[in-house]
Structure 1
Amino acid sequence: MHQLLFEHAITKFNHSPLDVLKVYNEYKYSKLDNLDAIKGHFPMKPHLASVNTLSLDPLYNRYLFSGGGESSIKLWDIKQQDEVEELEPIYTLPSKSLHKFGITHIKWWSDNGLWLSSSFDHTLSVWDANEMQHVHSFNLGSRVLYFDFEDHGRNSLVAVCADGGIGGLRLLDLRTLADAHTLGGGGKLQGGFGYMLSCRWSPANPNLVVGGSQDGYCIGWDIRRADGCIFKMDYNLTTTNYKTNTRQLLLHETTPKAHNGGINSLLFTDDGAELITLGHDDKICVWDMASAEKPLNKQVNFGPLVRNKSTQHISMALSPTNETELQYLWFPSENGEILIFRLDDGKLVARLTKNGSALNRRTTSIVYAKDSSIKYYSGCRDGTISVWGYNSLLDSQIARDGLDFDSGNPGTLAGETERSDVLDRIHDEIEANRIRAKNTEF
């Protein structure tokens, strides 16, 4: 951001509009706030119990699923926020109608044709998104804590974390409707890893799935290999010592650990080059997945405010790579705050808190609205859905002429809601700067 201001000052400003848009987005992250009071907010209590999961469709970034602890599922059209005072669900699956206990996770298929839901009632259900009809249910015989599948639909497998049976990750095939395989099952006595609290498919490799266990193990599997396991993440193997590290496992250790406690959240960056893990040891770790044969701990320090003792899966959110110069990690802390960190160095950028009672205020799921909106949705244990982000109304009186670089404030762009209008204004400003620079040469 400061580099752009400097280049403008010496009349050598030749950056693309997208570069300037990144600067504007960076400014927005310094002005984050709760947006529940503005037009288009969610009802006061959309669910009677905890909002356990949120899922935004990947095709249009418009349809948001919410799953509650009372086993109901609701679908919201978030594009209606500019048209109505209070959102109403466009589809509701009542409590006890299919799932008998709390919903644990919901996720859209990559083409919006399907969506999947899981529950504490031991089932994972497949739905036709066009007709909103139930298609099939897998009965896994144990509580389904979480599931994930490849984001681009390059295979038909679903990795499932269940808290019983032989542990490990269960692989379900949507094409054959078979319980295809178990990765790392059998428990420690049989070379397994116990049951998994979290899992995630790599966006860079459709054959790589990573699971985080209740015991602090983080394991990567290649689904094409007979032995499966290709790496075991070690907290002591870092980007600075991996060539010289000779640490031997202690007598009570059989497998290196990524955390000293259960791992209840995993999150890849957009390109799959880094993996973020969250553990019950109150630590967030960032792993380099590309520089060596094994993942390397980058030793990013996120400070003493991280608190995480939840026994259920917690969904963090990460800002897209192409929208800002730096990426921002949204973490829901145990005390009800949402902490926002810079991913590269762990610096705390903001602490967001909801109004109202502090009881049951823990956020369980966060999703990003995308399209450079700088708007996030969070589901809370008190049954509410909150909106966080930058209030564009703040710009209504201070930016009628595009970006005012001369004032030193890169955030004085008019508060249009349409991204195309923003880009047009940025482009006009850049062209004006170029013409002015040419005139000064003569």
Structure 2
Amino acid sequence: MLGFLAARQAGLDDPLRLRRAESTRRVLGLELNPDRDVDRIHGNGINTIDIDAIEGRYMLSGGADGVIAIYDLENFSGKPQYTCKAVCTVGRSSQYVHKFSVETVQWYPYDTGMFVSSAFDKTMKVWDTETLKPAEVFQFEDNVYSHHLSSIARKHSLIAVGTKNPKIQLCDLKSGSRIHVLQGHRAEVLSVQWSPRYEHILASASADSKVKVWDVRRASGSLLTLDQHNGDKTKASSEAVNTAHNGRVNGLCFTGDGLYILTAGTDDRMRLWNSATGENTLVNYGKVCNESRKKLQFTVSRGCSPEFVFVPCGSSIAVYALHTGELVAMHRGHYNNVDCCEFHPDYQELYSGGKDGNILAWVPVLHASDVEEESNSSNKAAANQSSVNPAFQDAWSSDED
């Protein structure tokens, strides 16, 4: 890494290359941190977590007990050993608490003064963080599996909602009303997610084995229905035409640049799709154990080269190389099945929640071998200093000083 620093100081390397290299090194060094605890608030399993994108400091969690908690991830103690405290909770004693299992929580993308939760009590609530009271409550006729707000939208304030009803609901945050439905699925919609690249593009995953991509400005139907066989009818049975998986599709995630969609199904497969064409890229991730009947929350790294996928796999978290499908690591620490994980792009950390009621923090660890490698890189950089363009020699020396 010191070699990268020296090359950057000399102007020989792009600063982004250094950043990607360090981010990648940190992700590959993730380990369960014995010095960092997260307050245990939930009495039952944890279904969903979300880290705010503005400060990267506050984390939401929602549990099967209906409880919502907000944690402060910042360490102000100055000591390596600390606990991420729950700064506030919507507990069972609150009159506003969800009556049944909370399935999705999400911060408002533009500030931490508001967040949204949805649950099996057939409601989605928009919360004021200051008062911990709902500013708006959307009532549905069926259990809510998933909702999502766009992180880039400027021309709309829509929340996409997936319920037991096959129709996707679009709720307007400004007017407080349901304004539109998207029809096309034939079973419950388990996961929805807006594209991080185009504000009107939405993807949905359903128990009907299908994944659809929508442009919400169009009323005529979906843009794409993802087909695992890429249109080759000789490989598809009559029942499996235009299906993304051979089972319920309960996991859905865009990559950070919005160019690809990742899906996971109860057929124990994960697939990578071109989000523009809908083509199955045929990356083979092998068997990805998926026993969940509800939404499975997995996540993709950002700023690495290559990028990595973190997906719950039983009581472990499997880490795959995004574009090759190579299994890079298996993180073990939970005592029961993992239901959700969230990547922190500012620090390349990972947080996971499971049916054991615990939230675990996975942080980069620098091993002795890494230190030795960095030392060797530094020596090589010093040896190569004489080959640097003389115009950079003075700048190099002054920077080293």
Is TM more than 0.5 here? Answer: yes
Q: Aligned equivalents of 2:300 and 2:370: distance in 1?
A: 31
Residue 300 (structure 1) aligned with residue 251 (structure 2): no
Residue 80 (structure 1) aligned with residue 91 (structure 2): no
Alignment match of 1:352 (pick from 323, 331, 348): 331
Q: Aligned equivalents of 2:351 and 2:77: distance in 1?
A: 16
Q: Aligned equivalents of 2:237 and 2:249: distance in 1?
A: 21
Shift of 1:407: 6.7
Q: Secondary structure at the match of 2:84?
A: coil
Q: Secondary structure at the match of 2:263?
A: strand
Q: Aligned equivalents of 1:301 and 1:398: distance in 2?
A: 34
Residue aligning to 1:339: 318
2:90/2:132 contact within 8 Å kept: no
Shift of 1:434: 4.8
Q: 1:23/1:182 Cα in 2 relative to 1: closer, same or farther (>3 Å)?
A: same
Q: 1:31/1:137 Cα in 2 relative to 1: closer, same or farther (>3 Å)?
A: same
Q: Secondary structure at the match of 2:55?
A: coil
Deviation string, structure 1 residues 258-299 (Cα, Å, up to 9, x no partner):
101111111111221100000111000000123x4xx00000
1:221/1:229 contact within 8 Å kept: yes
Shift of 1:32: 2.2
Aligned residues between the structures: 383
Deviation string, structure 1 residues 366-421 (Cα, Å, up to 9, x no partner):
112222x22111111110000112125x579948x97641678xxxxxxxxxxxxx
Shift of 1:82: 5.4
Alignment match of 1:92 (pick from 78, 89, 92): 89
Residue 159 (structure 1) aligned with residue 160 (structure 2): yes
Alignment match of 1:376 (pick from 334, 350, 365): 350
Residue aligning to 1:196: 189
Q: Aligned equivalents of 1:102 and 1:30: distance in 2?
A: 34
Alignment match of 2:298 (pick from 311, 316, 323): 316
Alignment match of 1:284 (pick from 270, 275, 288): 270
**Residue type matched to 2:228 in 1?**
Y
2:318/2:331 contact within 8 Å kept: yes
Shift of 1:31: 2.5
Deviation string, structure 1 residues 222-259 (Cα, Å, up to 9, x no partner):
2111212111111000xxxx7xx565975446x51010
Deviation string, structure 1 residues 413-441 (Cα, Å, up to 9, x no partner):
xxxxxxxxxxxxxxxx79x96566357xx
1:196/1:212 contact within 8 Å kept: yes
Shift of 1:326: 0.5
1:51/1:384 contact within 8 Å kept: yes
Kindly, what percent of the aligned residue pairs are identical? 26
Q: Aligned equivalents of 1:28 and 1:177: distance in 2?
A: 42
1:81/1:87 contact within 8 Å kept: no
Q: Secondary structure at the match of 1:80?
A: coil
**Residue type matched to 1:127 in 2?**
W
Deviation string, structure 1 residues 85-104 (Cα, Å, up to 9, x no partner):
22321111112622111111
1:382-397 matches, within 5 Å, as 382-391=356-365, 394=367
Shift of 1:149: 1.8
Deviation string, structure 1 residues 336-389 (Cα, Å, up to 9, x no partner):
11110000100011111016xx4xx11111112222x22111111110000112
Residue aligning to 1:270: 256
Q: Aligned equivalents of 2:64 and 2:49: distance in 1?
A: 12
TM-score (norm 2): 0.86
Cα RMSD between the aligned structures?
3.1
Q: Secondary structure at the match of 2:305?
A: coil
**Residue type matched to 1:298 in 2?**
T
Q: Aligned equivalents of 2:370 and 2:281: distance in 1?
A: 43
Q: Aligned equivalents of 1:407 and 1:434: distance in 2?
A: 10
**Residue type matched to 1:49 in 2?**
N
2:109/2:149 contact within 8 Å kept: no
Q: Secondary structure at the match of 1:41?
A: strand
**Residue type matched to 1:128 in 2?**
D
2:190/2:295 contact within 8 Å kept: yes
Q: Secondary structure at the match of 1:182?
A: strand
Q: 1:364/1:438 Cα in 2 relative to 1: closer, same or farther (>3 Å)?
A: same
Q: Secondary structure at the match of 2:19?
A: helix
1:110/1:153 contact within 8 Å kept: no
Whose strand fraction is larger, Structure 1's or Structure 2's? 2
Q: Aligned equivalents of 1:146 and 1:114: distance in 2?
A: 18
1:206-245 matches, within 5 Å, as 206-237=199-230, 245=232
Shift of 1:46: 2.7
Q: Aligned equivalents of 1:248 and 1:347: distance in 2?
A: 25
Shift of 1:132: 3.3
Residue 330 (structure 1) aligned with residue 310 (structure 2): yes
Residue 182 (structure 1) aligned with residue 156 (structure 2): no
Residue aligning to 1:62: 57
Q: Aligned equivalents of 1:252 and 1:144: distance in 2?
A: 27
Residue 365 (structure 1) aligned with residue 362 (structure 2): no
- In structure 2, stretches of 5+ residues that fail to align are 394-401
Alignment match of 2:31 (pick from 26, 33, 49): 33
Q: 1:403/1:140 Cα in 2 relative to 1: closer, same or farther (>3 Å)?
A: farther
Residue aligning to 1:437: 388
Q: 1:437/1:308 Cα in 2 relative to 1: closer, same or farther (>3 Å)?
A: same
1:13/1:434 contact within 8 Å kept: no
- In structure 1, stretches of 5+ residues that fail to align are 186-191, 409-428
Q: Aligned equivalents of 2:93 and 2:19: distance in 1?
A: 46
Shift of 1:329: 0.4
2:311/2:318 contact within 8 Å kept: yes
TM-score (norm 1): 0.79
Residue 405 (structure 1) aligned with residue 377 (structure 2): yes
Q: 1:214/1:82 Cα in 2 relative to 1: closer, same or farther (>3 Å)?
A: farther
Q: Secondary structure at the match of 1:296?
A: coil
